[in-house]
Amino acid sequence: MTPFSLFRLSVRNLRRRPLRTAMLATSIALMVALLVFGASFSMSVKATLQRAIDRLGADVLVVPIGARDYAEEVLLETKAKSFYMDKGVLQKVAQVQGVQELTYHVYLTTILAVCCDIPSSKVVAFHQGTDFIVRPWLRQSLGRPLGKDEAILGYEANRNLGLLELESGPAEGGTQLTLFGQRFQVAGVLQKTGTGLDTAIFVTDENLPLFIQKGKSPLKPGEISLIFVRVKPGQDPRKVARRIENAILEVDTIYRNDMGKRVLSTLRDINKVFLLTILLVLALSAFLTWSIFSAIVNERMREVGIMRALGAKNGHVLRAFVLEVLLIGLMGSLLGVLLGTYLSVSFARVFTLLRDVAATLSLAQRAQVALLGLLVGTGLCVLGALSPVLRVRRIEPLLAIKEF
Amino acid sequence: MALLEARDISKVFTVGEATIAAVQGASLRIEKGEFLSIVGHSGSGKTTLLSILGGILRPTSGQVLFQGQDIYRMDDDGLSEYRARHVGYVFQFASLLPVLTARENLLLPTVFLRGRANAREAEKALRYLEMVGLAEKADAYPYQLSGGQQRRVAIARALMNDPEIILADEPTGDLDEETEQEVMEFFKKVNREMGITFVLVTHSLELASAAHRRFRMTHGRLHEETAVSP
């Protein structure tokens, strides 16, 4: 026979009324699932934004006046937008004090059968000579600069278009596509960067005159979309951004740490709704635990009296009840963590915000959220049951036996 | 020094505005190895006095000394340990925990005393179940046992921690005559062979006559009736 302890008594008591135990565990599970889903949602948006900003590697972005939101939508979200300013701005920005290096992007949107042979996608034309955004990604995935008639697909763009049976790396074979009337050899697929540019197709800016010449894009000669700026070491990027705005009236700037503010502001509102819902469900679960354990303690008061008469200390009785509560809390919380994680993985794409930022959580972050769910679920269960369980301390054994 | 001594015990219950004196000035000395019986009508205060002796009900006044130590001056844990280590209690009702088997019910007092019960205690429980003729029911749950069998399991449980004294409150209350006789014979055997002191509360004069000394409880007052030969 295996050693007998209070643990077995608690387990048996749990099995006494399986439906009641299941009901309480389910309520805890639902509460934890909501918490895990909410926390995963919030954390993945924040983490993905931060990762994307880090991967872009620029200190300041310079965009046409009024195009801040468009720029964030292109760079951090999956949206395709076109916005342009005069290329002459480049010279002006380069002269601003504190600017170390800069490069630019031109963003175009494809339209199936009008200009291109692929569905609506964003095309990024970059200047290979000065670029410090795409070049490191090219080095990683292609191992060489991109040729003039070549295009390379962002990780998600390849998955969306299904052009290459390739996760990332250089392509073998002759897949071609038409962009703005120009044929391009698909050179390969970039690794996942976690930025909005994962959904883009990259070409060099040498092709822009041809695009304009073929009249298949709204782009005019001498236009660019966005300038990425790196500041000199020791320079405050926020001050440099302000200097650029003061010096060039037709542009807006986005300071690195301000990027994603729009998404984060939406996220804050969503978090408030999550928090309120979670608090209400928490209160409901605590009340349910309290009422179920009040009933359990009343039902078992006579047994408590018998246990006390047999020599159980208050601590033994409390431990037996707390073990029972802990087991229910742990069961419910584990179930809730699994359910919440499943929901956050399966239904995340239903939420535009998550879809747009291509949100993902690392294993360590998922473990953090799971731990939070376990602690809150189990802790709440214990808290809810505490007051009825502590009631058994105040009653004398004989009275417990006789009065209940 | 007496094994257990009650000095001028009183217990008053308050029900609403009324007060009920369940025990009034009861004194009693119990020596090691004695077999005592307390008889009395229903509501005479027998169970209350036995509970006070067993450390499960605090008296309103008076002292209960176990080997010279006032048990009600102990803290709650000390009093629990007194119950677990020195007293075996047999209730007048079915007192087995329904979620535990007969053997596990026997192991409970050991868990309370030592934290857990291992294979050695499990064997001991089986021996005691054998003594009350229920070894084959060791793994049966209370609902699978008759009232008499449950009572015998409870009696075996009272022996588990090798107590100095067993307090039995109407232990044969709802048993048939034959089982009642078997239980009484078992008590006498345990008292004789294991030297365990017995206090038996009963309303049956016939059962009470099995004791060395007989007390009567009337309206909360305790009187020694007669010395009965063992």
Answer yes or no: do B89 and A310 touch at CB < 8 A: yes
pLDDT of residue A354: 58
- Between A and B, how many residue pairs show a Cβ–Cβ distance under 8 A? 92
- Local confidence band at B209 (pLDDT 50, 70, 90 cut-offs): confident
By the CB < 8 Å criterion, does A16 face chain B? yes
Answer yes or no: do B56 and A398 touch at CB < 8 A: yes
User: What is the ipTM score, two decimals?
Assistant: 0.92
- Local confidence band at A274 (pLDDT 50, 70, 90 cut-offs): confident
Distance CA B62, CA B48 (A): 14
pLDDT of residue A172: 78
* Residues in A 51-70 with any Cβ partner in B closer than 8 A: none
The DSSP 8-state label assigned to residue B134 in this structure reads: -
Residue A299 falls inside a structural domain: yes
> Are A172 and A300 in the same domain?
no
Q: Is the dihedral of CA B98, B102, B106, B111 positive or negative?
A: negative
pLDDT of residue A374: 94
By the CB < 8 Å criterion, does A313 face chain B? yes
> Are A142 and A278 in the same domain?
no
Residue A361 falls inside a structural domain: yes
Q: How far apart are the first and last CA of chain B?
A: 22
pLDDT of residue A256: 80
Give the pLDDT mean for A269-274: 86
Q: pLDDT averaged over chain B?
A: 91
Q: Is B203 in a helix, a strand, or coil?
A: coil
Measure in Å the smallest separation between the Cα of B86 and chain A Cα atoms. Answer: 9
pLDDT of residue B207: 85
The DSSP 8-state label assigned to residue B71 in this structure reads: G
Residue A312 falls inside a structural domain: yes
By the CB < 8 Å criterion, does A166 face chain B? no
Distance CA A254, CA A241 (A): 7
Closest in B58, B95, B119 to A396, CB measured: B58
Answer yes or no: do B89 and A309 touch at CB < 8 A: yes
Q: Is B114 in a helix, a strand, or coil?
A: helix
Residue A347, pLDDT above cutoff 80 = no
Choosing from A221, A249, A277, the residue where a domain stops is: A249
By the CB < 8 Å criterion, does B45 face chain A? no
By the CB < 8 Å criterion, does B91 face chain A? yes
pLDDT of residue A138: 87
Residue A16's closest chain B neighbor by CA? Answer: B99
- Local confidence band at A352 (pLDDT 50, 70, 90 cut-offs): low
Secondary structure, 3-state, chain A? CCCECHHHHHHHHHHHCHHHHHHHHHHHHHHHHHHHHHHHHHHHHHHHHHHHHHHHCCCEEEEECCCHHHHHHHHHCCCCCCCCEECCHHHHHHCCCCEEEEEEEEEEECCECCCECCCCCEEEEECCCCCCCCHHHHHHHCCCCCCCCEEEECHHHHHHHCCCCCCCEECCCCCEEEECCEEEEEEEECCCCCCHHHHEEEEEHHHHHHHHHHCCCCCCCCEECEEEEEECCCCCHHHHHHHHHHHCCCEEEEEHHHCCHHHHHHHHHHHHHHHHHHHHHHHHHHHHHHHHHHHHHHHHHHHHHHHHHCCCCHHHHHHHHHHHHHHHHHHHHHHHHHHHHHHHHHCHHHCHHHHHHCCCCCHHHHHHHHHHHHHHHHHHHHHHHHHHHHHHHHCCHHHHHHHC
Residue B157's closest chain A neighbor by CA? Answer: A310
Distance CA A16, CA B184 (A): 35
- Local confidence band at A211 (pLDDT 50, 70, 90 cut-offs): confident
Strands B87-90 and A223-224: unpaired
Q: Is B218 in a helix, a strand, or coil?
A: strand
Residue B166's closest chain A neighbor by CA? Answer: A310
Question: Helices B102-114 and B147-159 sit at what angle, rounded to 10 degrees?
Answer: 30
**Which is more confident, A243 or A257?**
A243
Q: Residue A385 contacts by C-beta under 8 Å, 6 or more apart in sequence?
A: A289, A290, A293, A321, A322, A325
> Are A191 and A126 in the same domain?
yes
Distance CA A391, CA A303 (A): 14
**Which is more confident, A135 or B66?**
B66
Residue A56 falls inside a structural domain: no
pLDDT of residue A361: 78
By the CB < 8 Å criterion, does A6 face chain B? yes
Choosing from A224, A249, A274, the residue where a domain stops is: A249
Architecture of domain B4-227: 3-Layer(aba) Sandwich (3.40)
**Chain A residues lying within 8 Å of B87, measured CB to CB:** 311
Closest in A5, A306, A314 to B111, CB measured: A5
Measured in degrees and rounded to the nearest 5, phi and psi for residue A400 equal -65, -40
Q: What is the pLDDT of residues A70-97, one digit of tens each?
A: 888 888 877 778 889 999 999 999 999 9
Q: What is the pLDDT of residues A372-402, one digit of tens each?
A: 999 999 999 999 999 998 888 778 888 888 7
Q: What is the pLDDT of residues B59-108, one digit of tens each?
A: 999 999 999 999 999 999 999 999 999 999 999 887 899 999 999 999 99
Q: What is the pLDDT of residues B144-180, one digit of tens each?
A: 998 889 989 999 999 998 999 999 998 887 778 888 8
- Over pLDDT 70: what percentage of chain A? 96
Nearest to B123 by CA among B140, B138, B101: B138
By the CB < 8 Å criterion, does A28 face chain B? no
> Residue B43 CA to chain centroid, in angstroms?
18
By the CB < 8 Å criterion, does B62 face chain A? no
- Over pLDDT 90: what percentage of chain B? 69
> Are A31 and A82 in the same domain?
no
Q: Is B40 in a helix, a strand, or coil?
A: strand
Residue B48, pLDDT above cutoff 60 = yes
For chain A, what is the domain count? 2
**Chain B residues lying within 8 Å of A307, measured CB to CB:** 97, 108, 112
Q: What is the pLDDT of residues A43-61, one digit of tens each?
A: 887 877 777 777 788 899 9
Residue B228, pLDDT above cutoff 70 = no
Residue A60 falls inside a structural domain: no
- Local confidence band at A21 (pLDDT 50, 70, 90 cut-offs): very high
> Are A232 and A351 in the same domain?
no
> Are A267 and A236 in the same domain?
no
Residue A224, pLDDT above cutoff 80 = yes
Q: What is the token pair recorded at B3?
A: 């094994």
Q: pLDDT averaged over chain A?
A: 87
Closest in A3, A312, A401 to B112, CB measured: A312
**Which is more confident, A359 or A261?**
A261
- Local confidence band at A266 (pLDDT 50, 70, 90 cut-offs): confident
Residue B81's closest chain A neighbor by CA? Answer: A311
Global pTM value: 0.74
Residue A349 falls inside a structural domain: yes
Residue B229, pLDDT above cutoff 60 = no
Nearest to A396 by CA among B25, B13, B156: B13
Residue A257 falls inside a structural domain: no
Choosing from A249, A272, A300, the residue where a domain stops is: A249
pLDDT of residue B227: 56
- Best probe of the B interface among A4, A21, A304, by most B CBs < 10 A, is A4
Residue A372 falls inside a structural domain: yes
What is the residue range of A382's domain? 6-50+263-403
Please report, for chain B, the start and end positions of each structural domain, with discontinuous segments joined by +: 4-227
Q: Residue B223 contacts by C-beta under 8 Å, 6 or more apart in sequence?
A: B215, B216, B217
By the CB < 8 Å criterion, does B77 face chain A? yes
Q: Is B107 in a helix, a strand, or coil?
A: helix
